[in-house]
Amino acid sequence: QVQLVESGGGLVQAGDSLRLSCAASGRTFSNYPMGWFRQAPGKEREFVAAINKFGSITRYAESVKGRFTISRDNAKNTLVLQMNNLKPEDTAVYYCAQSHFTGLIGAPRSASDFGSWGQGTQVTVSS
C-alpha cells in the first residue's frame, strides 16, 4: 500500500518561500511519475506541477511557472516542491500524488492519471 506524507506547509507572507516535501513508501518510488496538486477553499483541486519517473521532464501550471520548482530524489523516495515568490492566491492545501502508470516516459497533469494521494499540507500566504 502506498503512503505519501507531505510536510513543509505553513503561514508565510507574500514574496516568501516555502519548501514542501513528500515522503513516499510502499512502492518502488522510481517507477512512477509524481505530481503536486492544490485545492483552495471553495475551488476544485488543480494541477500545480509534475515530474516524470526519471526526474528529467517537468510540467507546471501557468500560474506557478517560473516561481515553483518540482524535483525528486529517487534514492530517498522524496518529492519536493520549492515555492518562491509566494502570492496570496497560492493559498491552498497542497497534495502530493503518485501516478498509476509505470510505463509513462513523460509527466502527466490530469488528476485522473494519479491514483495515490497524500493527506495534504496547508499553505497560507498573507498579503
What's the CA gap between 123 and 9, in Å, rounded? Answer: 5
pLDDT (tens digit per residue) in 64-118: 999 999 999 999 999 999 999 999 999 999 999 999 888 778 899 999 999 999 9
pLDDT at 105: 82
Nearest alpha-carbon partner for 24 in 114, 98, 82: 98
